[in-house]
Amino acid sequence: MCNDEAVSILFRDPLLDSAREAAVIATHRMAAWADELSPISVSSKDGKNDLVTEADAEIEALVRHHLRLLRPEDAVVGEEGSEALSLADHPAGDEIQSILTHAARTAQSAAPDGDPDTVEWHIDPIDGTVNFVRGIEHYCFSAGARLQSAGPGSPDVGWVAGLVAAPLLDRVWFARAGAAWVAPLSALTDPSTPVRPLTGSSAPTTGRVVATGFGYAADRRAQQHAALGRVMTRFDDIRRCGSAAIDLCMAAEGRVNAYYERGLGVYDFAGGAYIAECAGRFVHRRADAFLREDTGASIAVPAAAVPGAAAAPGAEPDDAEAPAGPPSAGGSGGDEHMRGPAAELTVVADTRERFEFLLAHG
């Protein structure tokens, strides 16, 4: 199913248009760096496999400058903390600027409509850097925008736009104003590219598939390995993608029944969590997601469902269960779940029962 209006809003809306241009820069440089990476351009951060490349730093620097140029009142927070770098000062800058200019002309939109309040951008230049270095397809650029007026004490408030672009998967997911879509990567530069709205409904199958990720520190992995045994008592299969942003978007598409991971930073889920929310999932973020990047948490379940819906033929009983409301509404899904170990969890699920199970055992 196509939605031409959704394609045009990717160019017309001021926030999505800015995120789109940032994604064009990022994916263009990812393609160039994929052929240029060498051992001297790859280093580790806190662990042997917690990698950062010159590509990460360069892409963040270019995106930071471009967003400041487009929206000078906005703040930009990136995973790597790179200093801004102008396209004009980069060898590939003219080529990238030509792509951006041509796309804007094709859309017949010299300037996006409207001008919302100032926002804070949370950028991950390459989510899934280990995959990027090894030539595995699951890596992406991720951007999420949150109103600057929304303080760290109200982490669920203020998210207004999200975009995740995975070049080798030929996919871009984006969301704005309560709606979310997925499209081929060409939607970043061609406004006629068809897109599909996301509803968060699960794939029509009886199997229960959970996605997850593992940390770089040995003690973190030990916790996660122990939790995995408990989790798999309620699921039939597991997927390990290597990119939290892509995992969140797969949950938004309904490609997996659930996703959980411990210890994500804001930049990991900023774009994908908003997309999942707009696709029909309820998202709850912990305050420490902003106070401490290494303990960010985002907890999501569908916002709308049909109580008592029939299970798919052959499905387990919990496949038919619908959420009775957001977990912050009280009862067994209230704030008591957000204390202790659960404060470090990111959880997305297609039923309330799975959500509460993962929150308790993930």
CATH number 3.40.190.80 given to 209-361: yes
pLDDT tens for the chain, 362 residues: list them: 344 455 578 998 999 999 999 999 999 999 998 877 665 466 555 555 555 688 899 999 999 999 999 999 999 998 888 888 899 889 888 999 999 888 887 776 445 555 567 999 999 999 999 899 889 999 999 999 999 988 777 766 789 999 999 999 999 999 999 999 999 999 999 998 988 999 867 666 678 999 998 887 788 888 888 888 999 999 999 998 999 999 999 989 989 888 888 888 889 989 998 998 898 876 767 546 675 443 333 444 444 332 222 232 233 333 333 333 333 322 223 333 344 556 777 888 887 888 888 878 88
C-alpha 18/C-alpha 116 separation (Å) is 12
Supply φ then ψ for residue 32, to 5 degrees: -70, -45
Fold classification of 4-197 (topology level): Fructose-1,6-Bisphosphatase; Chain A, domain 1 (3.30.540)
How would you classify the pairing of strands 75-78 and 119-127? parallel
Question: One-letter amino acid identity for 73?
Answer: E
Q: Are 144 and 122 in contact (CB under 8 A)?
A: yes
Delimit the domains of the chain by residue range.
4-197, 209-361
Q: Which two tokens stand for residue 198?
A: 């996301």
CA distance readout (Å), 262 to 147, 214, 217, 247, 297:
26, 8, 12, 13, 8
pTM of the model: 0.81
